[in-house]
Amino acid sequence: MALNTNSIDQMQVVPTGGPLGAEIQGLDLTHALPEDTVQRLHQALLTHCVLLFRGQEISDEEQVRFTNYFGQAVEHVRKQMPRPVKEIFFVSNVQKDGQPIGALGNDDIPFHSDLSYLRRPGTLSIIYAVELPSTGGATKWCNCYAAYEALNPDLKARLKGLRAVHRHHVESQNPPEMIDHPVVCTHPETGRKALYVGPHLTRYIVGFSEAESSELLRRLFDHMSQERFVWTHDWQVNDLVIWDNRCTMHRRERFPPTERRIMKRTQIFNDEIPYE
């Protein structure tokens, strides 16, 4: 691909046809992006919540450079084996010398927003597919704007002012204090409201009894997992996907433990604490 193919005129935004997501065509991420192209990508991400780039044979350094167009790539809070580019976090079930090279294994991972168990959660995540199993491992994204907007007025009124505790199931990953966020958050750039709960990391609603909290969260989880709010991505090698954790939840489907899957992730944190 020629060096000038990253001009804004050659960039195409092709919606998935689902409730969120768009494929970006015409860009080669092995080369730098001009400022106007970056600005259009940023706007496309705000509009579509998830962006897919296919056929990108990129290095770790190039993935970090792409990430930095949207903020500052940082090392993941979870420690991993030494690696050449510390901002790269391996999501993998592969082991080397009896030790996992990455995290998260091969099981199903329910809907969640990355790092919501922190006071300042992850805002944007980027994953690059290096090696894939023959079946399984698809990722589903939920449009949490649409899920919130489809709630009936009475339920919207009930959610106003509510906060929920988010907690990682591995206790050592959690900060010492309990972290809670609004059940409905306002996106700081779009001003739109979105549900901010998911079955993987949201534990309970503050001030509710255990039974009342479980009933309401289950109702919200069932609502947001409806297909009308969800787009499924079946990965191909050299796919790169960036998504906005402030207005989406995502989940991963299980894949066979005997097959290898290697994904490289980068992440961005902003200064905002989620707010209603």
Residues in the chain: 276
Report, as an integer, the average pLDDT of 212-224.
Answer: 98
DSSP state of 247: T
pTM above 0.85, yes or no: yes
35-64 residue pLDDT tens = 999 999 999 999 999 999 999 999 999 999
Residues marked active site are found at: 112, 114, 250, 265
Q: What is the mean pLDDT of the chain?
A: 96
132-162 residue pLDDT tens = 999 999 999 999 999 999 999 999 999 999 9
Spans of all domains in the chain: 1-269
Q: Which residue type is seen at 184?
A: V
Model confidence band, residue 83 (pLDDT cutoffs 50, 70, 90): confident
**What is d(CA 223, CA 239) in angstroms, rounded to the nearest whole number?**
29
What CATH number is given for 1-269 in this structure?
A: 3.60.130.10
CB 112 within 8 A of CB 198: yes
Triad 134, 131, 141: Cα angle to 5°: 80
Query: Does residue 218 have a pLDDT over 50?
Result: yes
pLDDT of residue 39: 98
Residue identified by tokens 């922190």 is: 118
- DSSP assignment string, 194-248: EE---TTTEEEETTS-HHHHHHHHHHHHHHHTSGGGEEEE---TT-EEEEETTTE
Q: Nearest Cα to 239, choosing from 31, 95, 29?
A: 29
